[in-house]
Structure 1
């Protein structure tokens, strides 16, 4: 299957927690962003929760007509091949006008997203892909991303659920992990990969490189 090369690039404490507010306070935060540039994956994918807090004002779209798109479809509203991609299954987030964006947005949705929301994205100059009946078909979305949007390399920089979704679909080629020398220890905090079934076997990785930094952080790269 044609798809982009997909790297899951994350930072965590040594106990595997990835809360952004926490990782911003510990050594390794600068290393994370330097490493993100070095892996040469200008197209990046975030989940809806991350996008709502970091990429939008958090306001929600309210459709007057909830008629779903109902079939696989996409619209490329930019000539770029570098995007800020957000998974938003039902099409709910509001966005600023994207016509003059240096790195335009692209929204991944299921076919349950409303036609009205797709029209809204078109008006804002935002590209989108709708695939999957009830949830986003990540495999089909990545094929469309490669075939129709000419995206070659992608970094997933979202949370544990989106990381777990891509992992479960067999789409991740590499895990790039910055470990900060600190312990979170709080209960009910997000971890690196979430959402796999209880009976799933561990997915083995092949260690490629390890780098140590003066602030005590480590950057590890694994092939899946």
Structure 2
């Protein structure tokens, strides 16, 4: 199977929590973005963004694997949306346009909406996005060879569970979240075994607790 080289890039507190509002307050937050640039992954996968409006579901379903490259670019802002409900602004020649990952259960009406807004999309997977199929299409048809996953624990866990992660880039900020119910770097894995990794490099800095 062809696919891009995929890096999960996250910043966490010392106790492994990734709430954006919390990590944004930690020292080193600016290094998260500078490190992301060094990774040379202009295409990025984020979690589903809560839009101002959501479109109602309904209508005839697609029921097949398909894609449409409405906006040609060297890099994309990729957002998974299995049911196809999020409303988007029209793409107007951006060098970093949206590309929506959705399932075959998406309505044709929603795909017509994306086409009318010049937004590219990939539909793969019966009820939920089949990340393996979607990444193969992204490589073969959109010519994306490297990307960073910068979403939440569930989308990170989905890529890891599908065996698609080649590298993890993790910045640990000097702070403790400590609250229960917060997302971790990887969520949603059902196996009782840990996923083995090979440590590539470490850069460390002293932390002084005042």
- Report how many aligned residue pairs link the two structures: 207
- Contact 1:106 1:128 survives alignment (8 Å): yes
Partner of 1:221: none
Q: Residue deviations 1:76-102, cap 9 Å, x none?
A: 012213100000000011111103222
Q: Give the TM-score normalised by structure 1.
A: 0.89
Partner of 1:190: 183
Q: Residue deviations 1:151-178, cap 9 Å, x none?
A: 0001000000000000000000000001
Partner of 1:27: 27
Distance in 1, matches of 2:182 and 2:188, equals: 14
Shift of 1:200: 3.3
Alignment root-mean-square deviation, CA = 1.2
- Contact 1:99 1:126 survives alignment (8 Å): no
- Contact 1:13 1:23 survives alignment (8 Å): yes
Distance in 2, matches of 1:106 and 1:28, equals: 30
Distance in 2, matches of 1:131 and 1:200, equals: 28
Say which of 201, 205, 208 aligns to 1:209: 201
Runs of 4+ more than 3 Å apart: none
- Contact 2:71 2:93 survives alignment (8 Å): no
Residue 70 of structure 2 corresponds to residue 87 of structure 1: no
Gaps of 5+ in 2: none
Map 1:32-47 onto structure 2 (within 5 A).
Answer: 32-47=32-47
Further displaced range: 80-89 or 201-210: 201-210
- Contact 2:84 2:107 survives alignment (8 Å): yes
- Contact 2:75 2:95 survives alignment (8 Å): no
- Contact 2:5 2:145 survives alignment (8 Å): yes
Partner of 1:155: 148
Q: Give the TM-score normalised by structure 2.
A: 0.95
Partner secondary structure for residue 191 of structure 1: coil
Say which of 53, 58, 74 aligns to 1:59: 53
Partner of 1:100: 93
Gaps of 5+ in 1: 217-224
Partner of 2:116: 123
